[in-house]
Amino acid sequence: MSPVTTATLMQMKARGEKIAVLTSYDASFTTHIEDAGVEVILVGDSLGMVIQGQESTLPVAVEEMVYHTRCVARARRNALLVADMPFMSYSSSQQALNTAGRLMKDGGAHMVKLEGGGTQLETVRQLTANGIPVCAHLGLLPQSVHKLGGYRVQGRDGDSARMMREDALALEAAGAQLLVLECVPARLAGEISRELEIPVIGIGAGAACDGQVLVLYDMLGITPRQPPRFTRNFLEQSGSVAAAIAAYAQAVKEGSFPAQEHSFE
């Protein structure tokens, strides 16, 4: 298998091939993810909740993201490696450049991910102008959980749906090469996926997206908290971690995951 690049993902979208994405935070799990043929590995700031035991992603520091990205990079062979820029680490374009530089130079990331729409356009432009690939993130924004009033589905009313669609198009025009939609009505996510040229990865956003992402620990059913509605425990009937990850990748590619019960209207 050849190394996955942003061009690879664009070609997969053009061919209608689903893209499998999983989070990882260490070398051991990354080896299994690579063996399963997952195209994209996301070192998510979700590590704050599933590894550190925090109540949200907000306390995660840049140094911690660099450390975990470096751990994953050592075992990464072919997958595109994306790293989250943590809360308050990209409040200005210059700060974003510094954070992204650390994640790529010290951590080994190939792409960085940031949350937000219109307010992030200039940051996306600056990052891409400096050769830094960007994955944007719309819908439920975990770093804005207090502003949103909790973990709630976004884009259900006409105004918010229109704004999300406009933000998605603007982020693509600003240079974003990948977009994550989280907890978005399936119909809206499908419309945005069809409107954009770049691949759209869903999490709780229905089956019409170009690919799917889950938090690894949710997918394995090993988090102590109540699992989100949009996830599925693949370890339950697989017998091993390696088999569960392979089953997830296959389910995404054949279109059996997510099913209707993992989506929102």
Binding-site residues for Mg(2+), in ranges, read 45, 84, 115
Angle formed at CA 215 by CA 45 and CA 21, multiple of 5 degrees: 100
Tokens 């209207």 map to which residue? 265
Catalytic residue among 63, 166, 182, 254, which?
182
At residue 223, what are phi and psi to the nearest 5 degrees?
Answer: -100, 140
Which residues are CB-contacts of 107 (< 8 A; sequence separation ≥ 6)? Answer: 43, 65, 66, 67, 69, 70, 73, 83
Active site residue 64: no
Joined together, the tokens standing for residue 27 give: 């070398």
Which residues are CB-contacts of 153 (< 8 A; sequence separation ≥ 6)? Answer: 140, 183, 184, 185, 204, 264
- Which residues contribute to the annotated binding site for 3-methyl-2-oxobutanoate? 45-46, 84, 113
3-class SS shares of the chain: helix, strand, coil, % to 5: 45, 15, 40
- Which residues contribute to the annotated binding site? 45-46, 84, 113, 115
Closest CA to 79 of 22, 45, 34, 44: 34
Cite the active site residues. 182
